[in-house]
């Protein structure tokens, strides 16, 4: 649309060179602004969510006060998570009531960590069915998953093709 507008101005004979210079300058400024903004997109924004998995009868992830992570059918105070963006597409999940971060060990087991580390970072991937999958940053190809009985699955035993790794962030 901008190019069409520029060509019309040139055809009218009203300062063609001047318009080209202005347009080129504004285009270069826009590129710089977009690249600077893209690197900072959603950094540090905290969202309160409940992660819902529609496997079995449907479960929310909960972090208990002892650091154990399980799935529970009904929402409660332990299912409220603070999701915070630490890098582009990378989030951490903090249990508001328990005070623990969701973390994954090198064996793929989910646990509640009292302090922030690389094991607490997860890549948030949007799937084709509009669900999200959460892959460990520290241990690639390991995903958060809940079985149909509400127990957590080991990250190395699940893939994004399984519905037990599909989550909906709910308010």
Spatial separation of the C-alpha atoms in residues 75 and 132, rounded to whole Å:
19
Spatial separation of the C-alpha atoms in residues 133 and 49, rounded to whole Å:
15
Query: pLDDT tens across 146-161, in order?
Result: 999 999 999 999 999 9
Task: Supply the range of the domain harboring residue 31.
Answer: 2-39
7 and 53 in one domain?
Answer: no
50 and 31 in one domain?
Answer: no
Query: pLDDT tens across 123-141, in order?
Result: 999 999 999 999 999 999 9
Query: pLDDT tens across 96-125, in order?
Result: 999 999 999 999 999 999 999 999 999 999
Residue 131: per-residue pLDDT: 94
Structural domains in the chain (count): 2
Query: pLDDT tens across 29-82, in order?
Result: 443 333 434 444 445 788 899 999 999 889 999 999 999 999 999 999 999 999
Report helix, strand or coil for 102: strand
30 and 50 in one domain?
Answer: no
157 and 132 in one domain?
Answer: yes
144 beta partners: none
Helix (H) or strand (E) holding 39: helix 16-39
Give the confidence band of 12 by pLDDT, cuts at 50, 70, 90.
very low
Give the confidence band of 171 by pLDDT, cuts at 50, 70, 90.
confident
């Amino acid at each position: 649309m901008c190019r069409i507008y520029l060509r019309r101005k040139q055809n009218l004979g009203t300062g063609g060179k001047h318009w080209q210079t202005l347009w080129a300058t504004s285009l270069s400024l826009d590129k710089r602004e977009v690249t600077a903004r893209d690197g900072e997109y959603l950094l540090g924004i905290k969202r309160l969510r409940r992660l819902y998995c529609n496997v079995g009868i449907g479960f929310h992830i909960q972090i208990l006060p002892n650091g154990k992570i399980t799935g529970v059918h009904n929402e409660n105070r332990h299912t409220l998570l603070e999701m915070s963006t630490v890098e582009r597409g990378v989030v951490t999940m903090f249990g508001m009531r328990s005070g623990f971060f969701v973390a994954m060990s090198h064996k793929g087991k989910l646990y509640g960590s009292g302090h922030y580390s690389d094991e607490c970072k997860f890549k948030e991937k949007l799937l084709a069915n509009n669900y999200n999958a959460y892959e460990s940053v520290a241990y690639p190809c390991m995903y958060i998953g809940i079985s149909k009985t509400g127990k957590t699955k080991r990250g190395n035993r699940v893939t994004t093709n399984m519905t037990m790794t599909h989550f909906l962030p709910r308010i």
